[in-house]
Amino acid sequence: MPTIANPLVCCAKEPDISILSDELLAEVRGLPRRNLAVELLQKLLNDEIKLRSRRNVVQSRSFAEMLERTLRSYKNRAIETAQIIEELIELAKEMREASQRGEELGLTEDEVAFYDAPETNDSAVQVLGEDTLKTIARELMETIRKNVTIDWTVRESVRAHLRVLVKRILRKYGYPPDKQERAMQTALEQAELLCQDWVA
């Protein structure tokens, strides 16, 4: 029976198992059958979007729209197969970067979901600054977490109370009044996704 001189050397380099790793994307890019590469990328991206839809409503919507737009261009023959493969690979990289954004911001996964909720890409919101947006995200998450109950989604009184609390937080930090309603709705929608973990 052959022995390995140093078993640690053999296993020192662990493979990158992330589904959207550079290695996998490079392999897909090199597939000889381009239509198969497109289908594979579409499946991988759809699966990733489905996973995100359980944790971050804003990210999942955004990436779903980007994927749909890209695929529509391809199906309408507006772009070539090679170009769609590159665009899908770029989208996969954006998804991977979005997953790492929480670490860069110093936020938990749940906090990132609430950071995304108040339209952080909107120019009016950008005026508030990243630190204020992070504070809003943390406060929204904590406030909602403390006030959700098992049946909060069906009890209008609890929902109304949460709406008031969310609006209060947004006003407290100078969130643009014309954007508050939508941000509040998105925050509550986000809470519905995450609350199963919180009240369990």
For 129-169, the pLDDT digits (tens) are 888 989 999 999 999 888 877 677 677 888 888 889 999 99
For range 4-32, the mean pLDDT: 59
* Residue 39 pLDDT greater than 80, yes or no: yes
DSSP 53: T
Listed by start position, the domains of the chain span 22-105, 109-199
Q: Residue 144 is which amino acid?
A: I
What share of the chain in percent tops pLDDT 70? 83
What share of the chain in percent tops pLDDT 90? 32
Give just the sign of the alpha carbon dihedral 81, 83, 89, 92.
Answer: negative
Q: What is the pLDDT of residue 86?
A: 92
Q: What is the pLDDT of residue 198?
A: 63
Spatial separation of the C-alpha atoms in residues 88 and 115, rounded to whole Å: 26
Tokens of 53: 């839809």
* Residue 179 pLDDT greater than 90, yes or no: no
Q: What is the pLDDT of residue 7?
A: 32
Stated pTM of the model: 0.76
Q: What is the pLDDT of residue 49?
A: 92
